[in-house]
Structure 1
Amino acid sequence: MGGRFPRVARTWLVVLGVALGVSLALPAAPAAAHNSLSGSNPANGARIAAAPERVELRFLAKPNPGTTKITITGPDNVDALDGEPTFSGTRVRIPFAPGKAGLYIVGYQLGSADGHPIKGEVRFTLTTGTPAELPSPSASAPEPVPPSDAASAAAPSSAVPATDGGGSAVPAASESTDGGPPGWLWALGGGVLLLVAAAVGFTVRRRRAGT
């Protein structure tokens, strides 16, 4: 009994040690396989008046330049990248080409050890942008019109379309071109004939019924 108990205790201690080691290793595996964003400049949700020369992204682990994709999109879906990103440890710096004032979205995609890409974005608002282009004086000023052309354009046209016999050159749309009676007169005559025929038939039936 005395020798058996220590052996059982040692066995349970080994089992507990293995289970504890496995439980501690499981949470660490996903963390080592997946990288994530730790900060940015400008910060996510920031509103800035002066546009930076570059946008900086900071990650928990060193990103792989071969599997890292970064985009910057400005208002009207205009590309705001001004060159290739540079990698320095866990930091990535992206040259920035500011345009109109508005929302800018920095999108990133990283490779990971387990093969699943990591995607995310940083948004900031630029409150000042490039000024609108002013129209050139030559485009805004109307071209001068020669006096002869101006007089001819202002004078009303005296040309009158020629007509035969002083009548209108274009016949009215409601005029009829045939010489027969109008259609409503034919309809009225047909209705009268139907009424006469009905009256004659009714009289004949009464006479037959009386005889």
Structure 2
Amino acid sequence: MGGRVARLVRAVPVLVGVVLAVALSSASPAYAHNSLTGSNPANGARIATAPTTVELRFLAKLDPARTKITVTGPDNIPAAGGAPAFSGSRVSVPFTPGAAGLYIVEYRLPSSDGHPVKGEVRFTLTTGTAAVPPSPSATPSASATPTPTESSSPAPAASSADPVPTAGTDDAGRGWLWAAGGLALLAALVTGLFLRRRSTRP
């Protein structure tokens, strides 16, 4: 009886070691894969005010040389305003907002077992940046190409375009002369007839 108890006591440390080995071997794959634990903005968030940076938080420390972060906005336009900044298990990327819409933060990082870890965080910006007004030189103003009007280019007056001829006054003078000549000739004929009749009387 005592021998069996002694053998069981000696076997307990061996059993504990086997259990620990199995537990560690089963747990090692879980710890081998780094994973995302949180973000700012949060995944699926809808925000009206754009943040200055986008931050991702992971389970384990990140390798800056082998970690890739991209930020894109509507129409697949890049929205990262600079290079990522790493701090242990956190990484932040300067954010340059554009139009309102869906923004996607994609990440890709290595793991200790050689399998890359990748995923994405999505958030919606409900208020976009204001549109840049066009420069004054881009669109010519109406004053640059004026449209001719009656006031800006008046038609020449009839008096300047068609001067009144002075021949009318000459024709009127000549008419009076012809009339006076005709009257004088008529008077001479009447006088001649009158004198002729008187000379023929007995």
Structure 1 residue ranges without an equivalent (≥5): 148-211
2:154 maps to none
1:99 maps to 98
SS of the residue corresponding to residue 66 of structure 1 reads helix
Residue 21 (structure 1) shift: 1.1
Q: Which has the greater radius of gyration?
A: 2
Q: Could you tell me how far apart the structure 1 residues matched to 2:60 and 2:102 are?
A: 28
2:196 maps to none
AA aligned to 1:51 is A
Structure 2 residue ranges without an equivalent (≥5): 150-202
Q: Deviations over 1:80-106 (max 9, x none)?
A: 111111111221110111111100000
Equivalent runs, 1:1-211 vs 2, <5 Å: 2-3=2-3, 5-6=4-5, 8-10=7-9, 12-135=11-134, 139=139, 143-144=145-146
Q: Could you tell me how far apart the structure 2 residues matched to 1:31 and 1:136 are?
A: 57
SS of the residue corresponding to residue 66 of structure 2 reads coil
SS of the residue corresponding to residue 102 of structure 2 reads strand
Structure 1 residues 66 and 135: CA distance shift in structure 2, 3 A: closer
Residue 11 (structure 1) shift: 5.7
SS of the residue corresponding to residue 43 of structure 2 reads coil
Q: Could you tell me how far apart the structure 1 residues matched to 2:136 and 2:96 are?
A: 29
Structure 1 residues 84 and 135: CA distance shift in structure 2, 3 A: closer
Q: Could you tell me how far apart the structure 2 residues matched to 1:27 and 1:95 are?
A: 39
Q: Could you tell me how far apart the structure 2 residues matched to 1:55 and 1:40 are?
A: 8
Using the size of structure 1 for normalisation, the TM-score is: 0.61
